[in-house]
């Protein structure tokens, strides 16, 4: 672990339960100083709040495993967060990302992979249940939880030297800063209209039949509550929509396919929302605390690209899009959804150093600019004058970013494969330097079995290899880096970030501060793009909602939300 040296290294673990607001309730803490072996055991449940007993300044390193949990306990206890944080979970994920492991990514898995002793899974689960149960705790139970907590701390002391030689401390400390940001974001939560959510929960079963009838008026694909494939095939044929098919020849009815097709055919969005709501949405699984805040684990670094992977059923931005209408700021507050404009395109332009691509991004409409470069529209064309041609070239850009081939692109744009092939050829001709860079990355990955981002998030290439996924990795993974840097900068600046969402953040502020917080957020997101892309700055957009208004995704979820609300008022 080359780089910054620390006078003390503290390995720390908390045991905790959960409050009615879904925030951590600390039961106990154990910490051991790595060099001296000094041990601290502290019982915290049911006692007056204590000051943090650990040195957390810049000369000390705080080590934990999945330490957004520990940071959540710090916040609940009113303790400051440590200056320097090393999360061995993040580093274990970074060191093994892309490999098929015989173990999970938890502490027991990391210990097993390094040949270190650990307690049994059964014992660990029993102790976690005891911590979650809540007090009062007997003296024996307190000792049992402290002893169990110490086993995790001693495990960290043993694991650290096994991993340390592969850790880039500068990159690791950035990931540690992000875990602090995650804890702050999870602690804030997303404001939800609880009275309306309770009405939906109470009446959802009764609403479903009427909702099917209302939505299906435009499609005619349901019989009762059953989605009929033959009727859907007839609808597709009537409207001349070429739908992707499985190798068997049957229509591909996966939700991700519906989601992709709804982007190309917005009229399908209500049907996709209906199918998802009936099939996968479970309103009672949706996690909202007593204070009306949606809180769940953001699950950082869980995907290969390093993006968060929160539970779709528990996270409002992972569920059906229309459900986001439940996001509503409290009285006197507002929320803002701030996102980067064409983030993946800008990342590709900057990292590849393709000047034509950079200029296309700088134009403000890279899709139309691509069409002009390729000769698909006149040089004076606008979004309004040539909407259909722009849509084709936009679909081509997105196809490249998503790693789609000509067949998938042809399905998406409802054109023969030869047309899709020609559009992809035009992209290669327009952005030759980008393609040289992209193909070179794939070649390097196949030769060296490795790719990494600007801040060291690593992908080991193994098993069945998909060259298109490799080509897409650096755009997606560096996009994840950018979001992490933005969340770090924003939370450290005191901005109340409610949620990170792929290439965007949701923030909140009192109404008198909202405009300034939005301006500050956009400035910091621009700074994050410069840190990742070497002074190439991405632009941002902001959608602002003042109480009593609620968040609304007009294009994808708005019409379905209106149908649900209309039926709720009419029937309930």
Report the distance separating Cα 538 and Cα 517, nearest Å. 19
Residue whose C-alpha is closest to residue 388's, from 407, 371, 405? 371
Predicted pLDDT at 382: 94
Mean pLDDT of the chain: 93
Split at pLDDT 50, 70, 90, the class of 297 is very high
Given a cut of 90, is residue 520 above it in pLDDT? Answer: yes
Predicted pLDDT at 281: 66
Given a cut of 70, is residue 1 above it in pLDDT? Answer: no
- Listed by start position, the domains of the chain span 8-188, 190-292+561-572, 355-430
Give residue-wise pLDDT tens across range 334-346: 999 999 999 999 9
Percent of the chain topping pLDDT 70? 99
Length of the chain as a residue count: 572
Predicted pLDDT at 4: 63
As a CATH number, domain 8-188 is 3.30.420.10
Tokens 């809180």 locate to: 295
Given a cut of 70, is residue 2 above it in pLDDT? Answer: no
Better-scored residue on pLDDT, 306 or 1: 306
Give residue-wise pLDDT tens across range 251-270: 999 988 888 888 778 889 88
pTM value?
0.93
Q: How confident is the model over 163-188, as a mean pLDDT?
A: 97
Predicted pLDDT at 259: 84
Report the distance separating Cα 40 and Cα 71, nearest Å. 18
Q: Could you please report the per-residue DSSP string of 402-463? A: HT--HHHHHHHHT--HHHHHHHHHHHHHHTHHHHHHHHHHHHHHHHHSEEE-TT--EEE--S
Give residue-wise pLDDT tens across range 363-383: 999 999 999 999 999 999 999
Identify whether 136 is preceded by a cis peptide bond (ω within 30 of 0): yes
Tokens 């934990």 locate to: 64
Report the distance separating Cα 51 and Cα 80, nearest Å. 9
- CA separation, residue 336 to residues 191, 224, 545 (Å): 12, 40, 6
Better-scored residue on pLDDT, 414 or 86: 86
Predicted pLDDT at 242: 79
């Amino acid at each position: 672990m080359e780089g910054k040296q620390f006078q003390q290294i503290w390995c720390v673990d908390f045991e905790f339960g959960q409050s009615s607001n879904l925030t951590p309730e600390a039961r106990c803490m154990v910490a051991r100083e790595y060099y001296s072996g000094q041990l601290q055991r502290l019982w915290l449940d049911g006692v007056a709040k204590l000051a943090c007993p650990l040195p957390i300044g810049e000369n000390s390193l705080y080590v934990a495993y999945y330490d957004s949990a520990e940071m959540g306990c710090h916040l609940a206890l009113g303790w400051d967060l440590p200056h320097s944080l090393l999360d061995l979970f993040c580093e274990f994920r970074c060191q093994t990302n892309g490999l098929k492991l015989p173990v999970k990514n938890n502490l027991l898995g990391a210990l097993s992979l390094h040949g270190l002793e650990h307690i049994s899974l059964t014992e660990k689960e029993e102790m976690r249940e005891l911590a979650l149960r809540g007090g009062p705790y007997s003296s024996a139970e307190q000792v049992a939880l402290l002893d169990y907590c110490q086993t995790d701390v001693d495990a960290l002391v043993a694991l650290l030297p096994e991993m340390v030689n592969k850790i880039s401390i500068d990159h690791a400390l950035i990931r540690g800063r992000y875990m602090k940001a995650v804890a702050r974001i999870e602690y804030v939560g997303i404001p939800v209209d609880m009275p309306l959510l309770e009405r939906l929960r109470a009446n959802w079963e009764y609403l479903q039949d009427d909702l099917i009838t209302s939505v299906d008026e435009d499609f005619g694909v349901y019989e009762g509550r059953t989605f009929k494939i033959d009727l859907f095939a007839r609808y597709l044929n009537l409207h001349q929509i070429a739908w992707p098919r499985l190798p068997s020849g049957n229509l591909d009815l996966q939700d991700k396919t519906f989601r992709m097709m709804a982007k190309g055919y917005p009229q399908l969005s209500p049907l996709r929302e209906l199918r998802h709501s009936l099939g996968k949405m479970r309103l009672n699984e949706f996690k909202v605390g007593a204070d009306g805040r949606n809180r769940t684990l953001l699950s950082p670094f869980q995907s290969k690209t390093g993006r968060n992977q929160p539970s779709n059923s528990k996270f409002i931005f992972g569920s059906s899009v229309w459900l986001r209408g439940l996001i509503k700021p409290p009285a006197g507050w507002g929320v803002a959804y701030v996102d980067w404009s064409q983030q993946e395109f800008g990342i590709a332009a900057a990292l590849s150093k393709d000047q034509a691509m950079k200029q296309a991004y700088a134009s403000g409409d890279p899709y139309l600019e691509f069409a002009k470069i390729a000769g698909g529209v006149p040089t004076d064309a606008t979004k309004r004058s040539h909407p259909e041609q722009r849509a084709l070239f936009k679909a081509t850009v997105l196809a490249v970013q998503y790693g789609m081939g000509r067949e998938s692109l042809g399905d998406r744009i409802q054109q023969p494969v030869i047309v899709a092939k020609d559009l992809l050829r035009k992209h290669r001709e327009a952005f030759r330097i980008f393609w040289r860079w992209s193909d070179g990355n794939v070649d390097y990955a196949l030769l060296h079995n490795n790719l990494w981002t600007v801040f060291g998030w690593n992908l080991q290439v193994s098993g069945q290899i998909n060259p298109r996924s490799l080509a897409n990795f650096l755009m997606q993974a560096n996009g994840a880096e950018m979001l992490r840097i933005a969340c770090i900068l924003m939370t450290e600046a005191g901005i109340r970030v409610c949620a990170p969402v792929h290439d965007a953040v949701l923030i909140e502020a009192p109404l008198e501060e909202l405009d300034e917080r939005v301006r500050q957020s956009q400035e910091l997101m621009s700074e994050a793009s410069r840190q990742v892309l070497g002074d190439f700055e991405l632009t941002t957009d902001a959608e602002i909602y003042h109480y009593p208004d609620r968040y609304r995704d007009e294009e994808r979820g708005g019409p379905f939300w209106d149908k649900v609300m209309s039926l709720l008022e009419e029937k309930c």
